[in-house]
Amino acid sequence: MKHIRLLIVLLFGAYIAHAQAPQLMNYQAVARNGSGQVLANQSVGLRFSILDGGPNGNAVYVETHATSTNQFGLFTVSVGGGNPVTGTLGGVNWASGNKYMKVEADLSGGTSYTAFGNATQLLSVPYALYAANGGGGGATGPTGPQGIAGTPGTPGAPGAPGAQGIAGPTGPTGATGAQGTGGGPTGPTGPTGATGAPGSGGGATGATGATGVTGPTGATGATGIGTAGPTGATGVTGPTGAGSASGTLNYVAKFTPNGTSLGNSQIQDNGTGIGVAVAPSATDRFLIDAGSTLLGGLKVTKTNTTANSYSSNFSQGTLVSGQNVFTNLSGTFNAGGFNINNPALLSLSTTQGYALAGVSAGADTLAAVLGASINSNGGYFLSNDAQNRANPGLVGVSTSSVDNTPGAMGYGMGNATVGDSLVLGLLGTYDVNSKYGTGVLGFGYGGTPPTRRLDVGVWGSAENIGVEGISTAGTGVQGESTDDIGVVGYSVNYVGVYAEGDLYGSYTVGDQAATGAKTASVPTSKGNQKLYVMEAPGVWFEDLGNAKLVNGVATVNLDPLFLETVVIDEAHPMVISVTPQGDCKGLYVVPNAAGTGFEVRELGGGNATINFSYRVSAKRLYYQDFRFGADLLGSANDTRSASKYRQAIPVSHSEAAAQVGFKGKSQPKAKQSGTFKSPFAQPNVKSLLNK
């Protein structure tokens, strides 16, 4: 039923006169679908409610009908002759105030009723019911005789069994019965017998005697006198072994490939520093040649494949690592609720320092820290702040005075093979378990933070431009939301959201709303000036044109493409105005029955031949029943006091700027499309990603 509308032609007839008039009101309508097509031979369920005092008053009478449309989609019922639900039509007190009728229908013939439009006030004809009840003026007639008692109705079905009653209290415990027969009582235990005397086996062992006193140490004897004997002759030198050794000073030796000789390795040790594939440095204790490829000069391979093999080096619960750096780990590490599986590099900081820092000071260099991943995220930064200090997971700072030098940049370089594939340079989101959050928050000079919790993908706040998106062939900024706001732009005296595009400056799917006037900025000799859009409580489309009256008659057929966008029927007639461009008695219009055009005729049967212009207004298709409508983002209370008179904007640019306090900034930088230069050299980044 979402796309079905009940297009109602309300034809009330009252057969109410004097006291004996029937208590009925005729109701007739035509059922059409959302495209304006007649629903012929269709079952229809209806519910009518008479409301007291206003369109939202209490229902004093409710009845339902089940009927069907004819081949023209037309159906007719008599209000008062349906199935009563609440009260009786004859019992309505028409003298107590205004009465309104609410109509609800189920065009599938069921009872899932949907209200169509607001309740409509019942005017003079239905109030004949009041007159039928005496009008409140004449005296009350005598009571009629008691009618014959009706036949007793069929007894109703027995009611359902009542609920189980509450259980009564438990009775007292009965007395314990006497001990049953089955043998005499058990006799007492006899006394324990006396312990027997120890057996014979020899006499007791005697006591050990005391140790005697140690005597004094004797004196050292004198050294003997005599001359030393001669040294023996040196033995013959044995033959040279099969091995050999040769090398360079400070090089650490290694076995050569034959396994028997020693030679130089790539490690040098000069007693102060150690170098690998390079001479030791005077300032670096350990120096490794970086090599000539992107594979790097150092590679550490894990040797322990046991899960959590590094658990003895740090505590996963307290994030304590002793300032160690781990590479090529095996297992899962939990950091603030986020699991890191088999990290290639893990560095933890237990002080107010950085766990990882990269500095690049050369001219035209790449990023100091670059994270690249073949199938997932290149880098992940997490803030596990338990002190509510609002510390970010990633900070990007730029001190450059060169234009367009960002502190942090997302650069999407993928080659999308599908038209709607997303190649993202920067993705901002937040935990879906959080009720509110902001994916990306950006502040410029003069920017202010949001004052309330929002569900926002990107929030930008600045004195000039909060969020800027540039695209030469796609979409600069896209905002989507299923429950709140897709894009929010705010500026005190400038532009909240600025959009520029060769095809569309902005494109929205759904209705657009603005609390101020909607304007078009058009070029003139005095600069761009504003032209304002006319507003109406309903949603209208218009078409204008010119035609010619010949012998007092002209036929105007509306554009078929225009007719595809509007609804023109008895419930939604078009509004036509004509202006003659010559002398005549006056003009009037006669719409054709199909609603596809109209005739223009001269008054008084005239036969003038003149040109005329016309203007046609018709309700927009799918919006034909709109009239006002609550703005759910605004307050539900009386908001008139919060509005104020807006002073007219002067034609002069300087006067207009002075009136609104405009600071004379240049046009938004989005005008400079194509001038943004990436700080990353694209060929170098591609070479990294292709490895």
Tens digit of each residue's pLDDT (9 = 90 or more) over 410-463:
776 666 555 555 667 777 776 666 666 777 777 776 667 766 666 676 777 766
Is residue 616 within 8 A of residue 596, CB to CB? The reply is: no
Task: Specify the residue for token string 């603030």.
Answer: 336
309 Ramachandran zone, left/alpha/beta (phi>0; psi -120 to 50): alpha
Q: What are phi and psi of 89, to 5 degrees?
A: -65, -35
Q: Is residue 44 packed enough to be buried (19+ CB in 10 Å), middle (13-18) or exposed (0-12)?
A: buried
**569-584 confidence digits (pLDDT tens):** 999 999 999 999 999 9
110-125 average pLDDT score: 82
Provide the β-strand partners of residue 564.
none
Helix (H, G, I), strand (E, B) or coil at 653: helix
Q: Edge to edge, what strands does the sheet with 25-33 contain?
A: 4-7, 25-33, 74-79
> What's the pLDDT band for 537 if we cut at 50, 70, 90?
very high
Question: Has residue 464 got a pLDDT over 70?
Answer: no
Question: Has residue 322 got a pLDDT over 50?
Answer: no
Per-residue confidence (pLDDT) for residue 392, from 0 to 100: 73
Task: Specify the residue for token string 């069994």.
Answer: 161
Per-residue confidence (pLDDT) for residue 156, from 0 to 100: 66
Per-residue confidence (pLDDT) for residue 134, from 0 to 100: 55
Residue 542 structure tokens: 């218009």
Is pLDDT larger for residue 590 or for residue 472?
590
**477-516 confidence digits (pLDDT tens):** 777 666 666 676 666 666 777 777 777 778 888 888 888 8
> What's the pLDDT band for 293 if we cut at 50, 70, 90?
very low
Is residue 256 within 8 A of residue 263, CB to CB? The reply is: yes
CA-closest candidate to residue 131, choices 90, 160, 186, 79: 90
Separation between Cα atoms, residue 643 and residue 665, nearest integer Å: 28
Is residue 658 within 8 A of residue 578, CB to CB? The reply is: no
Q: CB count, 10 Å around CB of 124?
A: 7
Is residue 250 within 8 A of residue 233, CB to CB? The reply is: no
Average pLDDT of the chain is: 74
Residue 353 structure tokens: 């320092």
Q: Is residue 24 packed enough to be buried (19+ CB in 10 Å), middle (13-18) or exposed (0-12)?
A: middle
Q: Which of 118-132, 240-254, 535-549 has the lowest mean pLDDT?
A: 118-132
Residues listed for the chain:
691
Is pLDDT larger for residue 80 or for residue 450?
80
Is pLDDT larger for residue 482 or for residue 236?
236
**621-665 confidence digits (pLDDT tens):** 999 999 999 988 788 899 888 888 888 989 998 898 888 777 654
Please compute Rg for the chain using Cα positions. 50
Residues 6+ apart with CB under 8 A from 251: 264, 265, 267, 268
530-556 average pLDDT score: 95
Q: What are phi and psi of 269, to 5 degrees?
A: -135, 110
**585-614 confidence digits (pLDDT tens):** 999 999 999 999 999 999 999 999 999 999
Question: Has residue 4 got a pLDDT over 60?
Answer: no
304-315 average pLDDT score: 45
Task: Specify the residue for token string 């596809």.
Answer: 596
Helix (H, G, I), strand (E, B) or coil at 605: helix
Per-residue confidence (pLDDT) for residue 459, from 0 to 100: 72
> What's the pLDDT band for 668 if we cut at 50, 70, 90?
very low
**33-63 confidence digits (pLDDT tens):** 878 888 899 999 999 999 998 989 999 999 9
Per-residue confidence (pLDDT) for residue 173, from 0 to 100: 66
Question: Has residue 94 got a pLDDT over 90?
Answer: no
Per-residue confidence (pLDDT) for residue 620, from 0 to 100: 97
Question: Has residue 408 got a pLDDT over 50?
Answer: yes
H helices of 278-396, in order, are none
Separation between Cα atoms, residue 461 and residue 318, nearest integer Å: 37
> For the chain, what percent of residues have pLDDT higher than 70?
57
Separation between Cα atoms, residue 417 and residue 246, nearest integer Å: 61
Q: Which of 69-73, 138-142, 259-263, 380-384 has the highest mean pLDDT?
A: 69-73
Provide the β-strand partners of residue 461.
443
Question: Has residue 374 got a pLDDT over 80?
Answer: no
Separation between Cα atoms, residue 591 and residue 619, nearest integer Å: 15
Per-residue confidence (pLDDT) for residue 269, from 0 to 100: 93
Question: Has residue 227 got a pLDDT over 80?
Answer: no
Please give the DSSP secondary-structure letter assigned to residue 90.
G
Per-residue confidence (pLDDT) for residue 575, from 0 to 100: 97
Per-residue confidence (pLDDT) for residue 562, from 0 to 100: 97
169-195 average pLDDT score: 64
Question: Has residue 195 got a pLDDT over 70?
Answer: no
Is pLDDT larger for residue 453 or for residue 373?
373
Question: Has residue 317 got a pLDDT over 60?
Answer: no
Angle in degrees, CA 675, 679, 684, rounded to 5: 120
